[in-house]
């Protein structure tokens, strides 16, 4: 029996922890479980509302203590590295990324072999400093080259630290006011030994593919490589090959020309969806860097949601806003919100609220959004909600009445 598209979306959301609202208040273990469930938590520093990794967790956990994320990092249950861009990752997946650390030449802009060769002494100097004096931040080194700051013009010490990080000589030991604190890899992850623990690249890449399919719940083959930003998959680890080996399963989805793949661990979700027992009831806001929407093509094919983050677009050319948050409601993405937390004033401003074409006002919609905005604002400790612009006047009036 083929799955309906709605059922397939519900499987995806269930796998991502977004099908239903959390049944109990989150604890510290829930933060780690959510990251392990996704396999990856992308990092971004934009802070008009909570930074993306915290927001991704809020969407799944509701009210929780943001500091738990950094605590898991400092306690060694998470590590940072390049995956789907810079990410927090479960420490048990360290071996898969160790291959990139040892052979970083193919990592594009993340690694500059020419710069390393031209600045080898600078890099050695920074590494020696860490060995002798312990963990450090980029800010611990005074800028001496006379240039201005900014991510496009890192000072040499920062670039050296990033080279050491990319090549696996140092790791992020902890975060201090969200700034990385670097230390030697053998100090941060003392239980790892390359000679003893490193597996073959193909074995690790195969498991990476399997984990991507598990995290997606159900997917097209073309969606898999992007999840962990893998390059073109070798024939030995492509979805159809893994299906032939019994490591993945296949099913039809209405309207899809190609087969859908799922991990055997998700069989219970498939069975629930086929029997009509998988219902989406959760309403929340999503980060632009949430796994559900970070692949623009997948979001369009799966949710009919055309999404582009516009913070890198000149203001005059923006269509929806600087940092718009997709609105997930009961299994569909129904719109987007451009929000800003005015933390000193205690105000969460809804600068703009846009509904997707075909989404009409209803009392149920208004109540769901009001409840979500209140929860979002309370978690930010900005209890007053103010709506500035909404493209549906009836909805705007109803929301303002609830605020």
pLDDT for the residue numbered 154: 62
Query: 185 φ, ψ to 5°?
Result: -60, -40
In eight-state DSSP terms, residue 280 is: -
Torsion over CA: 269, 221, 216, 211 (sign): positive
Q: Report the domain count for the chain.
A: 1
pLDDT for the residue numbered 312: 85
- Over range 301-328, report the average pLDDT: 93
pLDDT for the residue numbered 106: 82
Strands of 54-149 (E only): list them: 78-83, 85-90
Smallest Cα–Cα separation from 80: which of 54, 43, 106?
43
d(CA 222, CA 260): 10
Cβ-proximal residues to 210 (8 Å cutoff; 6+ apart), any chain:
242, 247, 248, 263
Q: How confident is the model at residue 146 (pLDDT cuts 50, 70, 90)?
A: low
Answer whether residue 143 shows pLDDT above 70.
no
Answer whether residue 245 shows pLDDT above 70.
yes
Cβ-proximal residues to 347 (8 Å cutoff; 6+ apart), any chain:
341, 382, 384, 385, 386
347 SS3 class:
strand
d(CA 67, CA 60): 16
Q: How confident is the model at residue 389 (pLDDT cuts 50, 70, 90)?
A: very high
Q: How confident is the model at residue 80 (pLDDT cuts 50, 70, 90)?
A: very high
pLDDT of 121-136, one tens digit each? 999 999 999 999 999 9
Mark out the alpha helices in 265-325 (DSSP H runs). 267-274, 296-303
Answer whether residue 295 shows pLDDT above 60.
yes
- Over range 268-291, report the average pLDDT: 97
Q: Which residue has the tokens 């969460």?
A: 348
Query: 135 φ, ψ to 5°?
Result: -55, 145
Residue 112: CB atoms within 10 A of its CB come to 17
- Over range 95-99, report the average pLDDT: 96
d(CA 310, CA 321): 6
Does 118 or 368 have the greater pLDDT score? 368
In our burial notation (b when 16+ CB lie closer than 10 A, e otherwise), range 282-295 reads: bbbbbbbbbbbbbb
Q: Which residue has the tokens 């700034």?
A: 179
pTM: 0.94
pLDDT for the residue numbered 151: 41
d(CA 187, CA 198): 18
**Is 232 part of any domain?**
no
pLDDT for the residue numbered 153: 52
Cβ-proximal residues to 55 (8 Å cutoff; 6+ apart), any chain:
49, 285, 286, 287, 290, 325
pLDDT of 366-386, one tens digit each? 999 999 999 999 999 999 999
d(CA 226, CA 6): 23
* The two structure tokens encoding residue 7: 């059922």
pLDDT for the residue numbered 152: 43
- Lowest mean per-residue pLDDT among 222-231, 308-317, 363-372: 308-317
**Is 372 part of any domain?**
yes
Beta bridge partners of 81: 87
**Is 136 part of any domain?**
no
Which range of residues forms the domain containing residue 377?
308-402
d(CA 161, CA 141): 11
| End-to-end CA gap in the chain | 46
Mark out the alpha helices in 286-347 (DSSP H runs). 296-303
pLDDT for the residue numbered 316: 87
273 SS3 class:
helix
Read off the CATH number of the domain in which 313 is found.
3.40.630
Residues 127 and 186: beta-carbon distance below 8 Å = no
**Is 347 part of any domain?**
yes
Answer whether residue 181 shows pLDDT above 80.
yes
Query: 393 φ, ψ to 5°?
Result: -65, -35
Give the angle subtended at the CA of 202 by the CAs of 200 and 208, to the nearest 5°. 110
pLDDT for the residue numbered 140: 87
| Whole-number percent of the chain with pLDDT over 70 | 97
Q: What average pLDDT is seen over the chain?
A: 94
d(CA 236, CA 243): 11
pLDDT for the residue numbered 234: 96
Smallest Cα–Cα separation from 236: which of 203, 268, 261, 274?
203
């Amino acid at each position: 029996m083929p799955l309906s598209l709605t059922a397939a979306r519900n499987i995806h959301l269930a796998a991502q922890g977004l099908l239903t609202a959390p049944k109990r208040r989150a604890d510290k273990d829930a933060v780690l479980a959510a990251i392990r469930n996704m396999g990856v938590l992308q990092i971004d520093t934009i802070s008009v509302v909570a930074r993306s990794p915290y927001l991704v967790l809020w969407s799944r956990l509701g009210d929780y203590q943001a500091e738990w994320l950094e605590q898991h990092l400092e306690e060694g249950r998470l590590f940072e590295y390049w995956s789907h861009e810079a990410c927090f990752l479960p420490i048990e997946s360290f071996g898969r990324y160790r291959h990139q650390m040892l052979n970083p030449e193919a990592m594009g802009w993340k690694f500059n072999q020419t710069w390393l060769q031209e600045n080898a002494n600078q890099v050695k100097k920074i590494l020696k400093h860490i060995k002798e004096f312990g963990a450090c931040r980029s800010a611990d080194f005074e800028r001496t080259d006379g240039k201005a700051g900014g991510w496009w013009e890192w000072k040499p010490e920062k670039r050296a630290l990033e080279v050491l990080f990319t090549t696996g000589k140092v790791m992020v030991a902890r975060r201090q006011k969200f700034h990385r604190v670097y230390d030697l890899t053998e100090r941060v992850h003392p239980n790892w030994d390359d000679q003893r623990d490193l597996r073959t690249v193909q074995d690790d890449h195969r498991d990476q593919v399997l984990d991507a399919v598990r995290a997606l719940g159900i997917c097209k083959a073309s969606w898999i490589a992007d999840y962990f930003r893998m390059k073109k998959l070798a024939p030995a680890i492509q979805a159809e090959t893994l299906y032939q080996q019994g490591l993945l399963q296949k099913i039809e989805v209405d309207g899809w020309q190609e087969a859908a793949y799922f991990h055997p661990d998700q069989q219970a979700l498939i069975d629930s969806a086929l029997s009509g027992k998988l219902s989406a009831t959760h309403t929340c806001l999503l980060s632009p860097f949430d796994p559900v929407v970070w692949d623009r093509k997948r979001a369009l094919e799966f949710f009919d949601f055309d999404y582009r983050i516009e913070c890198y677009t000149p203001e005059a050319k923006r269509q929806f806003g600087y940092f718009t948050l997709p609105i997930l409601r009961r299994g569909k993405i129904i719109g987007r919100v451009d929000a800003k937390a005015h933390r000193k004033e205690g105000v969460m401003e809804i600068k703009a609220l846009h509904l997707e074409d075909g989404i009409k006002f209803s009392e149920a919609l208004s109540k769901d959004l009001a409840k979500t905005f209140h929860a979002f604002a309370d978690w930010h400790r900005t209890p007053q909600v103010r709506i500035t612009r909404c493209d549906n006047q009836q909805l705007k009036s109803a929301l303002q009445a609830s605020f």
